[in-house]
Amino acid sequence: MKRKHRGTRYFYIVTYIAMVLVTAIVTVGFLRVYLKNTPRKTGAQVYDKYYVLITDERDSSFWKSVYSGAYNFGLENNVYVENLGATLSADLSKEELMRIAIASNVDGIIVNAEETDTMRSLINEATAASIPVVTVNNDCVSSKRISYVGISNYTLGKEYSKQIMDIADDLFYRDAGVVNVAVLVSSAQTSGQSIIYSGIQENIETSDNYSAMVELSMVSVDDKNAFSVEESIRDLFIGEDIPDIIVCLNELDSTCVHQAVIDYNKVGRVHILGYYDSPEILQGIDRYIVDSTIRIDTTEMGEYCVDALISYDKVGYSNQFKDVDITLINNTNIKSYLKEQEEAKDDETP
């Protein structure tokens, strides 16, 4: 009887794996056919070009805002931009979506890249197929992408370091101890994150007294999915050596750290330097849970990406780097910033 049950169990396992594989193959195949047969038109409107945005965080408010900027700017220039994979139930990776876009012969690709051999190979493959690629927010410097749209990571690092030193002054003279600072980076650390960290480190080390006052460390976050990010960040609060300051370099980390500080009753004990102006992070600043955040002009970011592809199509050339504006939001300007947002919403209301 035991052998029979064991054989039945193996049969179910093999059947389940087969079903998962078939579903994945059918999904990818369907999307390829869909893109190949999708005319560059919607309703009565015919578009000159069809671009796609590819990211692995399609549901975040950050990337929705980037896409909105790209989409609306595209419409103004008779270009249709699709957030590739956003309407699919299957959670395809950036690499899988890149392969689909290349096979579908789209007119241009905007991708939140990374400095890996696979991504470099895919960008170069797209270029060889006469599909221009723009990297956004995270770059792949060694690839043949036509342009990178993002923020100056070194400048961002210096901005974070100024905030760290302001907080360290207060903590050091109050407690007379070393201030521990944890900079959160993804497990597949990007070149941009390394540059931000270098900017923080260099500015602190070259400033009087702070090199001895501040102990800086890089903490890896498992970013396979939202749950693994939450687990990695919660681990910071379980041990005895809880950082005095946590620097977040993306929206999800910022949101998770904000929630963990509340859950573990560390409000006022752990200082948070966030990234992006999502409603949760702004609320955290307004309630003195988050010290500050960096606002990125995501609308501008999306517009620059589409503009780079249009320029390349027209003249065969595009700026190698487009710098997006950033703004520091903290307790001194949060009220006025929230008021401006409310006024902007009122102006949009018909």
113 in the same domain as 196:
no
11 in the same domain as 142:
yes
Residue 187 has pLDDT above 60, yes or no: yes
Residue 174 inside a domain? The answer is yes
Residue 345 has pLDDT above 90, yes or no: no
106 in the same domain as 189:
no
243 in the same domain as 174:
yes
pLDDT class for 9, splitting at 50, 70, 90?
low
Rounded CA gap, 72 and 81, in Å?
Answer: 9
Residue 20 has pLDDT above 90, yes or no: no
308 in the same domain as 210:
no
Residue 349 inside a domain? The answer is no
Buried b (16+ CB within 10 A) or exposed e, 172-184: beeeeeebbbbbb
262 in the same domain as 248:
yes
176 in the same domain as 112:
no
Q: Which residue has the higher pLDDT, 35 or 203?
A: 203
Rounded CA gap, 180 and 66, in Å?
Answer: 34
Residue 298 has pLDDT above 90, yes or no: yes
162 in the same domain as 140:
no
Question: Do residues 272 and 289 make contact, with C-beta atoms less than 8 angstroms apart?
Answer: yes
Residue 270 has pLDDT above 70, yes or no: yes
Count up the domains in the chain and report the number. 2
Rounded CA gap, 346 and 206, in Å?
Answer: 46
In degrees and rounded to multiples of 5, residue 277 shows phi and psi of -110, 55
129 in the same domain as 180:
no
Q: Which residue has the higher pLDDT, 55 or 35?
A: 55
Rounded CA gap, 116 and 300, in Å?
Answer: 27
Range of the domain at 46: 2-150+300-323
Residue 137 inside a domain? The answer is yes
Share of the chain above pLDDT 70, in %: 84
Determine the residue type at 327.
T
Q: Which CATH number covers residue 306?
A: 3.40.50.2300
